[in-house]
A and B are shown apart, each in its own frame.
Chain A
Amino acid sequence: MSARAPLSALRRFVLGAPALWLLLFFLAPFALVLKIALSKPAIAQPPYEPTFSLADGWHAFLDKLGALSFDTFDLVISDDLYLSAYLSSLRLAAIATLLTLLIAFPLSLAMARAPKHWRMALVMLAIAPFWTSFLIRIYAWIMLLKEEGLINKLLLSLGLISTPLSIFATEGAVLIGIVYSYLPFMILPLYNALERQDPALLEAASDLGATPFTSFWTITVPLARSGIFAGVLLVFIPAVGEFVIPDLLGGSDTLMIGRTLWNEFFDNRDWPTASAVAIFLLVLLIAPLMIYERQQMREAAR
């Protein structure tokens, strides 16, 4: 566009301010997580050793470097508890993502087909729950799902069941919680992708002899690919590391890695192990994260 000098002082500030912030408060911390994962737990403040400090001389630094070990990593890889937690998290996140997709798709489709002047309002309505407190929304489901909760009360009073269902404190409750909380994240990209589709495409397909069913699977869904992709990643990746939902809605046997991390950190005060858990979680998520980043780049290029 216009021929201006690429990095004037103003530009350096505009780019530098957020860049520095992110480097300092997002990227640098991860280096620390790695370092602490290599440390040993200690009854001290902070509860790990060795601790590096600027006062160390070069020798002290090397000594402390030698004290770092991969013990925690060994533990995390070999111990069944962690392994099951990772697997269970991936499994639950995957199921929840699929359910969210199945519920969000028809909803987004209906929103995209609505008359133009409704659409903005519908989108606002779909997003509005996101603005209310996350915690509150989970709390609502506790109210609903407990044995003495509202759903059981309703079903009992209607005579549909004779003993209360125990949904609360099971994986089922956690799934409901994840689906409910992350639904707006799936609806938005799906809606955007579907809304962009020209309705004339389906009319053309119908004109050429396709049934609504065929049109849906051969036209609507493939064209919404980018939206599906974005929605799936936006739900799956954070869901894997969820803590609040399994903690409040799940039972003691509901294993999710976010909870494990929390327990190691706050209850066992084992910072090195918690850090190792975090590192592995990150490693697990690297692939989907990279895919997500690539998606973003492609969207931005359009």
Chain B
Amino acid sequence: MKRGLTSAHLAILAAGFAFLYVPIALVVLYSFNASRLVTVWGGFSTQWYVSLFANEQLLQAASISFRVALASAALSTVLGTCAAFALQRFGRFPARTFFSGMLYAPLVMPEVIIGLALLLLFVGLGIDRGFWTIVIGHTTLGLCFVAIVVQARLSGFDRSLEEAAQDLGASPARTFRAVTLPLIAPAMAAGFLLAFTISLDDFVIASFTSGPGSTTLPMRIYSQVRLGLTPEINAISTLLIGIVGLSLLAATVINRLKAPSAH
């Protein structure tokens, strides 16, 4: 039996990844389309990128989206890491099943339900909707994702490393700082990136939890898409893809660099 890939396997891989990437590639390609009609190629042009930067609304929305993403990703990372530690290290504490149930549920629940529920909460409590309510909504979703990523790292974690540190004289606090934290940092960073992307990308929850003056980028894009396709949307999509792609690349490169460095 041959181990490794047969030509059938390669064909499947090629087809599969083509299916995944061709639509995205086309979005990028047609952002350089000179013609206004999105699906008619009229030559190469970067005019839509130029007009993008004159589009106040889109820029405003982008700024809000980025700030929301930054804030919610930061909160998500802290809370999600705490949750991961609680589940992985605290043994069988009371209401553990209940806690982990609450933690996993937002991952699968349809976003319309979560969004609706959050909005009703804010209205019921008399909280004005705006920037921070979106942050709250995104954090609630993001913290679950971070918890999963960090928990995966913790479950494979060699506890004897921490014991060795303590054995050599490091107090539990110093052990955490000198041994545990550096070793889970990549997972926390990956979790942050994940939460950031989810927030940047989210439309449904933002729609429910935003207020006047806090329209996010996906909300803007959505309302424009409903009106019809414009190449400007292609342009901003390409930019977003570029940003995410670059940060993913940066993350991978940083991880590679960390391995053989001295300090």
Contact = CB atoms under 8 A, between A and B. Distances in A.
Query: Do the two chains touch directly in the complex (Cβ atoms below 8 Å apart)?
Result: yes
Given A136-B24, A292-B104, A265 B4 contact: no
A282 B102 contact: no
A234 B108 contact: yes
A149 B104 CA distance: 39
Interface stretch (A61-69, A71-79, A199-207): A199-207
A238 B107 CA distance: 8
Interface residues of B, number: 84
Contact of A29 (B101, B121, B197, B233): B121
B100 to A, nearest CB: 7
Contacts of A135: 201, 203, 218, 221-222, 225
A46 B123 contact: yes
A180 interface: yes
Contacts of B109: 237-238, 241, 282, 285, 289
B99 interface: yes
Contacts of B9: 109-110, 113-114
Given A136-B241, A150-B26, A293-B104, A114 B5 contact: yes
Contact of A237 (B10, B79, B110): B110
B30 A143 contact: yes
B199 to A, nearest CB: 11
B55 interface: no
A23 B102 contact: yes
A29 B117 contact: yes
Contacts of A134: 201-203
B50 interface: no
A206 B105 CA distance: 42
A237 B107 CA distance: 10
B19 to A, nearest CB: 8
Nearest to A46: B123
A146 interface: yes
A233 B103 contact: no
A190 interface: no
B112 A258 contact: yes
A242 B110 contact: yes
B143 interface: yes
Contact of B113 (A111, A124, A180, A281): A281
Binding site secondary structure of chain B:
helix
Nearest to B92: A6
Nearest to B202: A134
A282 B143 CA distance: 21
Contact of B120 (A33, A106, A149): A33
B110 A296 contact: no
Interface string A180-202: 10010000000000000001001
24 contacts: A29-B117, A32-B124, A107-B13, A110-B9, A113-B9, A125-B20, A126-B17, A133-B221, A133-B240, A143-B23, A183-B20, A203-B1, A206-B1, A238-B110, A242-B110, A261-B112, A275-B116, A275-B120, A278-B112, A278-B113, A282-B109, A282-B113, A293-B100, A293-B101
Interface of B: 1, 3-5, 9-10, 12-13, 16-17, 19-21, 23-24, 26-27, 30, 37-39, 78-80, 82-83, 85-87, 90-91, 93, 97, 99-114, 116-118, 120-121, 123-124, 136-137, 139-140, 143, 147, 155, 159, 197, 200-204, 218, 221-222, 225-226, 229, 233, 237, 240-241, 244-245, 248, 252
Interface of A: 1, 6-7, 11, 13-15, 17-19, 21-23, 25-30, 32-33, 36, 46, 103, 106-107, 109-111, 113-115, 122, 124-126, 128-129, 131-137, 139-144, 146, 148-150, 153, 180, 183, 199, 202-203, 206, 233-234, 237-238, 240-244, 248, 258, 261-262, 265, 271, 274-275, 278, 281-282, 285, 289, 292-293, 296-297, 300
The 9 A-B pairs of least Cβ separation, nearest first, read A241-B110, A29-B117, A140-B23, A18-B83, A107-B16, A136-B237, A29-B121, A110-B9, A15-B86
